[in-house]
Structure 1
């Protein structure tokens, strides 16, 4: 999922359910065995998903999921405590959804951040965890985020050490380019740990601010993203 600063409440992508297809069998009932194993797998998957947390991985899996669990509710499962001092009001109706698919499990949350006394959102925060169960996301992740500044005009992209196998910070600040006090501040921290990816995005639009409600500096925001992303991944890793 790539940054979409113009659409802070964008829904996470949805996918149709995958239907298992038994491998073509030769003589001796190979196809029948494939159908049997598919049925057994469906029963096990149903049991694992009966709880509030989706348990991913296990012996025999080729995916390097490292014990991560995708929460049923990312808004409560993720950590964004660093933003609370600036935006203490809770969002009463956050946008959240989950996806369970043989190829990927996903948990997503989008929050309106509000300062004290605000009726409307002063900024927005999204969190998304993807557990890639069939395909290694590494090459595409690196190509997308490491080179984001080259493929998107006006954005800065830099590597971040100490979080996962690799992480990149993408940011943009246009508040200084206008004398009218308009513009935006935007930052995404994208992390890959094995076959698991996590993205945390902050965006603020100055047209929505009163004079006494200036947004935090971009350096503060990026520090909060790093701290809370590390806390979230630690919390969700078994």
Structure 2
């Protein structure tokens, strides 16, 4: 009887190749069953790392962490440091919220107050040369509330020869005690020209944290018809202040021309700065 030929030599197993994808090939048996044992004659495979965040079928929570491999505590130390890192990150997040007011910090009012009589507390002296006659009965009111303090003043501006008001000036200061007015203030005044036609909006530097000048001129060069309007709105911290000017030429003293918008906006800037200083404690 002849001796059977020896079986052909098997090629050596191909070692696993490095890859940037950290999870096993989904087509491999080890990916489908990470605990399956290799069949006889199959090349050995590297043990696959369990994914601690994978959700098993029929369960809503991650499976328990696999026990550390024999011969060392590397897996245990990795789990410990992961927990420590999560605690540190949570503490940093909580600290950031505390510093930025996420848990309800006190209002940043910058020392401003809302006086009972804003008409006598505000400065509008820049308008006196054009309108020297004082308003004997200006409109004023004040509101005090845990969420908002508000003071308002409205008065007529008169020339010497006028029987009625030639122009009008209004002021309002708001102390926001519960919420930061910055987002709504910016949205309202920066975009004023989008929601109101024929108005020009200009950012103003050097007054508070942010300020906007809103103007309109419908006179078209006439001094007897049309109107001119200007508002300077300022936010300083959680305090907002506005000063409004309006003049209607049909009732304006015909002996003199009304002031230009450049004149009015210059007066608004000067008197707003002065008034804000006077409204500080």
Would you say same fold, with TM above 0.5?
yes
Superposition pairs of residues 15-164 of structure 1, within 5 angstroms: 62-164=106-208
Deviation of the 1:71 alpha carbon: 1.0
Deviations 1:10-56 (A, max 9, x none): xxxxxxxxxxxxxxxxxxxxxxxxxxxxxxxxxxxxxxxxxxxxxxx
When normalised by structure 1's length, the TM-score is 0.72
Q: Unpaired segments of 5 or more residues in structure 2?
A: 1-103
Q: Which residue of 1 aligns with 2:255?
A: 212
Are 2:152 and 2:173, in contact at CA under 8 Å, matched by a contact in 1? Answer: yes
Distance 1:75 1:211 in 2: 28
Distance 2:212 2:111 in 1: 22
Deviations 1:37-94 (A, max 9, x none): xxxxxxxxxxxxxxxxxxxxxxx96100011111110000011000001000000000
Deviation of the 1:109 alpha carbon: 0.2
The runs of at least 4 consecutive aligned structure 1 residues that moved more than 4 Å come to: none
Are 1:185 and 1:203, in contact at CA under 8 Å, matched by a contact in 2? Answer: yes
Distance 2:128 2:105 in 1: 38
Distance 1:136 1:75 in 2: 26
Q: Give the aligned length.
A: 178
Greater percentage in strand: 1
Deviation of the 1:130 alpha carbon: 0.3
CA RMSD of aligned residues (A): 1.4
Distance 2:201 2:245 in 1: 15
Distance 1:152 1:114 in 2: 28
Deviations 1:115-161 (A, max 9, x none): 01211000000000000001110000000001111111000001000
Q: Unpaired segments of 5 or more residues in structure 1?
A: 1-59
Q: Which residue of 2 aligns with 1:187?
A: 230
Q: SS state of the match for residue 72, structure 1?
A: coil
Distance 1:210 1:220 in 2: 17
The structure whose Rg is larger is: 2
Q: Which residue of 2 aligns with 1:228?
A: 271
Aligned CA distance change for structure 1 residues 97 and 61 (closer, same or farther; 3 Å): farther
